[in-house]
Amino acid sequence: MAACGARYLRKAELALNLHKVARKVTLGQVFVIEESMLIGLASLTMAPQIRTPDGLRIEQPPSVILALLIVTGFSLWNGPADACREAILDNVLLAELSCLETNLEEDHMDPEISWETWVEKETMIRYCVLYFLSLVNIVFDATPPIRYSGVQLSLPCAEAEWTAPSAQDWARNRRPRARISLKDAVDDLLNSSAPTPISDSPFTAIIILHTLLQKIWYRRQGSWDKNRPLDAGPFRNALDKLESAADSGSESTMSPHNARASLAYNFHSLLRLARIHLCASMGNCLAAYKTHDASKISQAIAIGFPIERSIESSKAALSATQSFAALLKFGTVHTSGSGTLHYIFNTFHSMIYLIKWLESMEGIAAITWTEHESQTISSIESTVKEVELRPEQAKLSLSRRVAFACLIIFKAANTWDLQTVLVKALHEYATKSRAD
């Protein structure tokens, strides 16, 4: 946490030094825990601490898992490329520790459970396992280290329980009843018309979106042609149900400093990603991100990815435009203090899709555009007009104008090195395309 704080204070060297120490200490605790479990000296059902032969106290999950999750996240966002490779390796360890928690017998309904014990178990459910499902997969198109189908945990609790400030408030808001499992919830969402049980837990909607993104990724990997559109029907219906059921608030009307902003922004950004991944495989672009090399990322954007004309692809473009409008309204203040680092990355991802979709449409005679395609392009044009482009930029094609508008909007997103590299890559792509 200190390393992350130093990074937000723009003390890059201090942040990196703190991170190196944090990683070494955390990995040391991970290895002791794993060794202890292997030789039968400890298990996750024992006391929350282990002591080595020399008396060193070792914390057990969730403390170590949360620490490793933060260490991994720092490496992913801060870079450089060798740090990203470290993060992939740490990801494997994180998966091993998390998997130890995926099949434990749940006792959240135990009327005798203490608030402290319940918080620890709920933390494991929320962050150490479920939120971790698609972290690296979304950032770099890497294979998910944990498949959701192997997770035998219930969905997170209602927000009133989770946010209770005291044991007394928690007891008043507690709902000691059976909770549906993640796997059952996702299967029901895809296969039935039953209502979605997430209205009292926006965080649950985010977890389900992570799971759907993973399922879409695996479905695409199993296709003989990874660039072909997927059978979008079940996924589209699931996403539509999630969008209508989630009580997360609109990002376009919610201040980034609102207490619910993080949930709202991240929900909508993940929803957009899911809609985009139904239409196109952006794996090559994402895989280039881990190089932390602006030129290689720019080349990957230039190569692009096939986008078939369909109502789904134009809806995904319209959805990406909405994220563009939200950032245009609030700016990249999202990166400061509101917990929406992923929102900036996901929005950048959406903008790349929008630019490439526009390029594909610009290669087609406007007279052949469908009504929905025409309406989407008109909406994009109206949004871009709100950005003060230079006169020579304002004369460019709409796809180029969107690219330069994104550069203006993302200019302040420079807290983390990956953000800076992505903006440089987009600048290189936009200026080169303009020259061509």
- What are the tens digits of pLDDT across the range 80-113? 778 878 887 888 787 777 666 554 445 556 677 8
Q: Does pLDDT of 339 surpass 50?
A: no
N-to-C CA span, the chain: 45
Indicate the pTM of the whole model: 0.86
Give the model's pLDDT for residue 293: 92
pLDDT band at 151 (very low <50, low <70, confident <90, very high): confident
Ranking 260-269, 290-299, 305-314 by mean pLDDT, the lowest is 260-269
Evaluate if residue 55 carries a pLDDT over 50. Answer: no
Mean pLDDT of the chain: 80
Angle between helices 417-435 and 294-303 (to 10 degrees): 50
Does the pLDDT at position 201 exceed 80? no
pLDDT above 70: percentage of residues in the chain: 80
Average pLDDT over residues 391-420: 89
